[in-house]
Structure 1
Amino acid sequence: DFNLSNEKGGHASDENSERGNWSNKTDYLLSMVGYAVGLGNVWRFPYLTYQNGGGAFLIPYTLMLALAGLPLFFMECSLGQFASLGPVSIWRVLPLFQGVGITMVVISTFVTIYYNVIIAYALYYLFASFQKVLPWSDCFSWADEFCSKTRIVSDCNATLDGETFHANYSFITSKNLTCINGTINYKPVQFPSEQYW
């Protein structure tokens, strides 16, 4: 019979001989920080804060963190420490909720897949940016006929508040105007960076 604690230099009286224990509190604390803090904290959270009201978003966020997030996190860690079981096995305690453990594993699998894709994109573009001329700086051989660095406007006059003037494409679209006495030479284009992506 294989005994992990004896094999790793542990004590024979270790109540957790199969799975082992944390060597000290610092190991446990660092593991919990690594579990709780990830890419989402660095990349996604600032964006979500900005999209949902900036500083005002932090009020309901902090409230829900205190009332729901931290208690659930504490419960999950406590159950794991107490029972020394994984997310599927722990729910033998309450068979009605065995689906919760299975769902946790499925969600972790999806998160692992999309985080790996995000990291792969970051690494790909990091190494692609080491070239002297960035591959997405212009429409090179990889581009199709819709690739363009500019949206062309020519001979376009627009009317705004009873006044006629010459305008560029971005101004006309931002004000929802139409051209008079002229045409917009515009085709649906993609900028090189967008098409390279």
Structure 2
Amino acid sequence: MGQFTKKPVTIEAVRVTAADWNGDSFDGSPFSEAPEWVRVAMAQDVLVPVTQDTDYAVWDVRTNHGVTRAEPGDWIIRQVDGELYPCKPDVFAATYAPASREPDSRGEPALSLAETQAVVETKTAPRVTEASIKAKIADVEYFRVRHLTICLITLHTGFFVTGESAPAAPENYDQQVGERYAYENAFRKLWPLEGYLLRELLAQREAEARGQDTAVQAA
């Protein structure tokens, strides 16, 4: 049995707070946000406050499997099918990450490398893949200069790229590790080149399609 990565699913969620709500607007809302789906859920009694006073801190969430309770700090998740259910903060933090960031943001990416690759695998438009690049490789050679490893990747066209790897401390040198890092360094250089070729091909096809449309309209 192999290993599998769960495909990322983007959900919407709000967090329950202990703030008072005046009942007339969402100023001081008991939720971290007040999107339209929260308003609709309240109007349809899918989200029902447990206490009927001014402190709407505890909520009953009506799900397809019964009523569950959401308390301050919990998250209320809206799934892709529209169903709502509460989630404890520790489970939420371990399961979900922000789906996007503001432009020009800082810090670690929202998705892990495995999650990113899983998202990319769902794309159906033409794209460059690791397999498509490897299919164009004719030969891979390695050279060593003291603790520096150099990888030379030659494509079937005769074009080649090089990659290098060297530990800061020579005592940490390992031949197999050096070859792997040097290979990855060289292989990464092929991605933008293959991306350029694919973009050029797609642009040519788009231009031909526009020309065909123009010819049909002229006829």
TM more than 0.5? no
TM-score (norm 2): 0.24
